A and B are shown apart, each in its own frame.
Chain A
Amino acid sequence: MTAVHQVLSSAGPYDAVSIQGLLWRRLLRARGFGGHDHAATVDPRARADFRALKELRAEPGDLVVIRYSAYSPKLLPVLALPNRRLLVYHNVTPPRYLWNHHAGVAVACAVGRTQLPRFARAADLAVGDSDFNAAELREAGAAHARTLAILFDAARLEDRGTPPVPGAGPLVLVVSRLAPNKRHDLAIAAFAAWRAERAPDARLLIVGESLSPSYRAQLERIATGSGAGAAITFADGLSQRDLNAAYAAADVLLSMSEHEGFSVPLLEAFHFGLPVVARPAGAMPEVGGDAVLWDRGGDVAVTAELLELAVRDLGLREGLARRGRARLEQFAYERTAAATLRAVEEALG
């Protein structure tokens, strides 16, 4: 049996890269491929699905899939293996966002970006999960890098738990890792402005794991200082069921992110028929297309007015939901699964 092994720099229970690893494994297993998934660093909560990188045993003829989202020195020996390699690039956060917030992660990102050409050149096939990422790969030296969209599994969004937010009133949802490039500070400022000006009973739910406990504390201080702190809830460690419930209970998804390699929450919002207000950063426009209220300015008051439109204008909401469903067809599981298997076969040679 041909084996396909996946290698990640780090694996966790909630991040998009690890979830893609799991979805690929399910697909590969269904198509008769063997292999295991490994990471340089494995969060204890992900140990059931990912093994330590040092346990990687690739036989001749096996394919090694490298999911590149950050640098780890432990990844380098993978380039010395005689196996064929498929590089999947998920993007690396520009370090400028991190220098003042987490020096260690900033260094990993800075080195990750400078080391990308080395991985790009060593790949038998290189793909980015968006045109934005594929373009960066080509710049890094993988001349024939192309786009291979993520596997979007809508079935995991069906099971509903309990929304982790009290009260009534319009609910704004932000779903992304708490990291400076995601600009939660702008989301909080826009929400506070909207609440003060238009929606005194509005609530904000911010879902995501934090870069560090101190960064979360900083965001909590920003929330308190915004004057809307009592209406803002931070939630991490949410199960998929509870996240689904949050999507179902929300009135709008907000993203003020300045750097996105893909953005799965956009697709999740489309699945729930939820209008989206977002900045057109990185790969966001190619994922969201015409189904998003794009915030092209730099004024949180305008973002607040976009929230007002997204929540109160019923005709606009229906139109966005219709367009969102059309966008989802572009990322239909059957289509991207077939493309994924074709890429694996091609990489195997």
Chain B
Amino acid sequence: MLAAIGVESLDDLFEQIPESLRLGRPLDLPGGLSEAEVYERLATLADRNADAEAEVCFVGAGMYDHYVPAIVDAITSRSEFLTPYTPYQPEISQGGLQVMFEFQTAMSELTGLPVSNAGLYEGPSSVASAGYLAIGATKRRRFVVSRGLHPHSRETLRTYSVGYGAEVVEVGLEGGLTDAAALAAAIDGETAAVFLQSPNFLGAVEDVEALGAAAKHHGALLVVACDPMTLGILKPPGEQGADVALGEGQPLGNRLDFGGPSFGFFCATEEQIRRMPGRIAGETEDLDGRRGFVLALQTREQHIRREKATNNICTAQALNALGAMVHLAWLGRRGFRELGELLARRTAYARQRLAAIEGVELLHEAPVVREFALRLEAPVPAVLERCAEQGIAAGYPLGREYPEYEDGLLVAITERRTRAQIDALAEALEVAVAAERRAYPAGVG
């Protein structure tokens, strides 16, 4: 090979790197390992994590321990889906492109909006991308955001808004729901978009249509973040006046993976189709008239439009979106609705069961689907520690992100959480709260 190139040695090829910039020493990393050794090393690390197999997981806060059917793994691990690049050559990428088209159809059905993209990175950065779309659509630079929007989404929107030159105004919660009067007062003729989440971070189902009226009145876009697993039973954002519906896709066909990779979904009205971020597959025909699929509307995208692109995203989450599509096909029209009903009923049971415990009360009484918030008359981290000793991850401590709910605990239910596990949680929580109240009588914790 060197002879064909016309050089004496490999070093000759690296001569284009100035001598002063050549590393000239091995990297300060260990030597390579055999496959068996790498496996052992990583299995040892994995063993030091308390995962949802090691303890019963009632933690949600945006990602949920759903059962991912075996068929999802079987299909997403196929080389033909796992190892291609983004479908730039559509003639040999029809499989991936058709999956995108099917996925877009599913997300459009779930959200009740006509246009979906093929997926973005994940939830919070999708929220930030909606802000960019809203600036393009309205030429305004002010965002009004409910405090019920996931704290990571609010923070991500703020991070991006520094680049957008946009202002972010936050509106608080009342009784677990967005303060409607405060929201209406915060929206004005300079507002580009209003951001709501339903169910919100506290699990409460918002009246999106009522809250969105002020946005409509001032010509601001209504952006609604939603949990896809609730859309089998909840009115879709598209029927409640949303211009954009988006969210974290992990509950559909994706494992927890300590937070990623998952995907974000992003749907909008027809009016916004040319401002959408990310890839969109579209139907077309080949030379002989056969049905086929391509990346449509590429003139929005960075590789064509460069600095005028509607977003900078390139590599997204195609494989994760495939997992979602297979999971949705597996659930099917009826299964998807039944799962929503199952979540709502088990959650209602758990909510009632836990709120009956001495020293535990509901943080709000708004309707919920699969997650609810409690107040504990005991220090939450200490209670969680005691439950963990019983092999139960009892929930998410709200004080981590909401100083006003230092005593708050957010509990999530999936179809994996059986009645027996919910009862075990109730018992563990009762014992833990009682023990902490004895240790720190009222007013001390």
A and B held together in a complex: no
Binding site for B on A (CB under 8 A): none
Query: What is B's interface to A at a CB cutoff of 8 Å?
Result: none
